[in-house]
Amino acid sequence: MWIQLLRPYRIVVPGGRPTMHEAGEMLRIKNKNQARKLIRDGFASNLGTSTGVAPHGCGVAVRRSVDPIPSWIDAMELPCQEVKSVEELPYELTIMWDGLYLPSPVQMIATFRVLNDFAWEMAVPIKSYAKLVKDLGSKADRERTKSVIHDLRVPYYNTHLLFVRSNGRTREMVRAWYQEQQGGGDDCLAFMRALYQIKPIILALPAAAVLKKRI
């Protein structure tokens, strides 16, 4: 049975070590009585036998090696492969993930629905509500960014997690991002320079789309 935790909980698997899980995580609990108790006690919601929320043609491109495959990918029954650079878009709708910070399953489900119904080409979370582009990187990196986007008093995106619909413009976008990365400096600024040059139709997701917990 699949559940989604509503608050942090330490799960003990028979014969295994206790594991701490954060609110928002999707987990597959083989012991149905254990799963039902978590739901009954208010620690989790019931997702049934399968989440089945991802649209057809969707998959995860991981930018580093992860083993085992995280439970949220398994829960959504998504194909997954490791990619060598951000240039690669192996799926019709690629979830580009750096393999470090957990995405919020609730936000992912909402994002899938929006991408299915509207013409967005990319969906990326805002990184911070407290900082702007002007607060990032070195002086030289900011000057290079200013020459492209002109005004640095704008929010910036969280490049830990991106939803990218594969088409000519988004493929050009990720190639431009890769090229900007080659000059070194802040990755978020490299993304902003590529974004302002190529101009894909981008949906800004809330910062909560990426959880604070590292893998």
Per CATH, domain 58-214 is 3.90.550 = yes
Q: Is the pLDDT of residue 8 over 90?
A: no
Identify whether the C-beta of residue 21 lies closer than 8 Å to the C-beta of residue 68. no
Q: What percent of the chain has pLDDT over 90?
A: 44
d(CA 83, CA 155): 28
> Residue 149's pLDDT is what?
97
DSSP-derived letter for residue 133 is G
Least confident of 66-70, 100-104, 207-211: 66-70
Identify whether the C-beta of residue 109 lies closer than 8 Å to the C-beta of residue 179. no
Higher pLDDT, 110 or 190: 190
Q: Is the pLDDT of residue 146 over 90?
A: yes
Higher pLDDT, 14 or 192: 192
Alpha helices in 82-186 (DSSP H): 105-117, 139-149, 168-181
Q: Is the pLDDT of residue 52 over 70?
A: no
Calculate the average pLDDT of the chain.
Answer: 85
Burial (Cβ within 10 Å: 0-12, 13-18, ≥19) of residue 198? middle
Q: What is the mean pLDDT of residues 204-215?
A: 79
DSSP-derived letter for residue 85 is S
Q: What is the mean pLDDT of residues 5-31?
A: 75
> Residue 193's pLDDT is what?
98
What 3-state class would DSSP assign to 169? helix
Domain residue extents for the chain:
2-48, 58-214
pLDDT digits (tens, 9 = 90+) for 72-128: 787 777 889 999 888 889 999 999 998 888 887 767 777 876 777 778 999 999 999
Higher pLDDT, 152 or 27: 152
